[in-house]
Structure 1
Amino acid sequence: MDITVTFVGNATTLISAGGLTLLTDPNFLHRGQRAYLGHGLVSKRLEEPALRLRELPPVDAIVLSHMHGDHWDRVAQRGLDHGLPVVTTPHAATRRDGAGACSRR
């Protein structure tokens, strides 16, 4: 089985194997933009992502390790298909549901 791994930046990786494509921790902010991490902390993007959201191949599911702005940013929240299944923690699923994004548990 062929496996393709594409590092997009930060924690964002595109993994394709066996006809399935997963996107991990989607962060597509541009260089210089800031992501809110919670408790008054922010992170500044130092490099452009290797791919833009519109350049992604069809994605089957998202893996979200935790809910911080550098792992699920406002660009991803607005631009990704809200019908995609999201594999994540119960805490992140609750926070995402409250933000108007759908998730599967």
Structure 2
Amino acid sequence: MTTSNTGTGDMDPTVRQELERLRASIDNIDAAVVHMLAERFKCTQQVGRLKAVHQLPPADQAREARQIERLRSLAESAKLDPAFAEKFLNFIIAEVIRHHERIADESLTSEGTTAP
């Protein structure tokens, strides 16, 4: 029998306990994802600074294409929808490029200023 609950007040205690256990796991995974993304962005900030110093373009379409294919393959192996994985990576890539463009702009601005 399936019932619709808006809360957990009338839920079977065993079901509630299992739900809480699963949600705690989800919360831990979410925290790990955030920390991994933070580490990734620390690395991409360094890449952005290196590109700015050497006047390289913020985007590298060939690498992006390779990374998308790589991530799609990893997603398939992990039983994750490859289209979702590609959308996720495209979102991250767009943010990285935005950061690289900002770093390049800041680099040009600082080069154009003179010390007092």
Q: TM-score range by the shorter chain?
A: under 0.3
The alignment's TM-score, normalised by the length of structure 2, stands at 0.23
Report which of the two has the higher share of helix: 2
Quick one: higher RCO (CA 8 Å, sep 6+), 1 or 2? 2
Report which of the two has the higher share of strand: 1
The alignment's TM-score, normalised by the length of structure 1, stands at 0.25
Larger radius of gyration: 2
